[in-house]
Structure 1
Amino acid sequence: MTRNPTLIVAPPALADHAARLGNLLDGLLSARTLPGEIERPERLRAAMAHGVLGGGKRLRPFLVEESAALFGATGAAILRVGAALELIHCYSLVHDDLPAMDDDDLRRGQPTVHRAFDEATAILAGDALLTLAFDLMTSEETDLPADRKLALAGGLARASGIGGMVGGQMRDLEAESAPRPLSASDVETLQSMKTGALLRYACEAGAIAAGASTDEQSRLRRIGEILGLAFQLADDLLDITSTPETAGKATGKDADANKATLPSLNGTDWTRQRLEQLVEEATGLLSPFGDKAETLVQTARFIAFRDR
């Protein structure tokens, strides 16, 4: 298959979704206190907003919404589930950018939270975003049956915790001082945790929120796994081929740190071919949903072949 340059175009629905999600997140991060809260320190609130409202593709909540739509579920509750996932993702970026982690100065084309504020405030902002995510997921305003909310909250905890995203970040830190370079299998496991776990959860969460069957949830979970691998492969490829101006963040850091990635181990041609295969696999798994899956098919292509 020959790569088509038009495949990097974002699905038209993504911009509308990002705007709706942005409005919801802006309200959640306002100065207004919620019942049970005492006050919201302004510097902390501003740091949280800086880490969340400064742009971004909003792919994870978009995947929640589009996965739920496969089963006819739409509305405010689905958007709130996606917003909870986005808060987790943004908290992880705030913490990953810290000097003790990846030590980045730029995120989404603007200073990272610890640069715009300070390290202590960035740590607390991440902590607060993490807890706000579960507040949002379990609140009465997220109008879903209690058993679905319980499954969603439990799934999010496991995808983001020791056996998922946070565990993957630990493996990434360990790799920096490992006595031998990571194998391709090691790298894939690490990335399936650090990046892939939340993308896998995003698709599965849409099915859970919609009340889909166990088999349907498993299908969407597999689609999420594929998209997670494609996202990381594309991200690592961009680190090699893109510029900071295009990417909106530092590039070339993996090579500078002598960090093993699948593109560095297998080459850029292998990576592009593997991305084609992953898109084909995701498309095949979505085929039973017919036209309802067209946006997700477009999203798979965008994830794999984006230019930033």
Structure 2
Amino acid sequence: MSAVGHAADETPTRTPRSRGGLTRSVRDSLVVAQRNLIRMLRIPEVVIFGLIQPIMFVVLFTYVFGGSIALPGAQAGDTQAYREFLMAGIFAQTVTFATAGAGAGIADDMHKGLIDRFRSLPMSRGAVLTGRTLADLVQTALTLVVLAVVALLIGWRSHENPASVLAGFALLLLLGYAFSWIGALIGLSVRTPEAATSGGLIWLFPLTFISNAFVPVNGMPAVLQHIAEWNPFSATVAGARQLFGNTIDSVPRSVTGAWPMEHPVLASVVWSVLIIAVFRTLAVRKYRSATA
């Protein structure tokens, strides 16, 4: 017995092989994203209410305000020209307003102690936030699909090939994903989901309205023209219009000579990647300190 026990003691203990850090982070992020998507399916009213607001904006700006907004060179009451000018702005506003929902969701998880449960698991620290933002990206993509159908029903048309149109929507989703990291940082920085919702919206209104989304920039005061044309939101709107073939010859591309307006697609990608790099770093750092 002692010899057998001694031999057993000398048997090397096998430890499970750990996967690489990147592989583990990707796997954990996808698991968290799946969890959030299942949660969205179980609470469909969240998705439904998220669809109502952009549809209301489309109807309001097209049928209420559209007849009063004159584009340079367009005839008075030319609602078709304004529809094509407007829709890229509505699409961009929709993906950015999802930021408030992302922040509120993370704040709710923090408030309920769910983040502490994730912390107790052997998982990548950044996976909780990455999974959440990926799930929000999927929800935003579904919202864009529904909104595009509504836009087609009211008369919006693209004038480019399908590949270019898909690239335009990809540009919009990239901006939405970038802004979701701002929402994640806000959600980690406040105490309640209500505060996260308010904090997520209060800065979005000036960002979206001091832009080229709803009216041409040339009618703004000179100071606001410069702000609007260096606005990351404006770059994405202009880039989407270009990829959709919705640019209007009579509406100047830029009135201040701003580089983002001269190269909107490239500028939009640069802005989005920069926002992701900065705010993902800040959000993950905040998450680690909040759960330390």
TM-score over 0.5 for the pair = no
**What range is the shorter-chain TM-score in?**
0.3 to 0.5
What is the TM-score normalised by the length of structure 1?
A: 0.31
Structure with bigger helix share is 2
Structure of greater Rg: 2
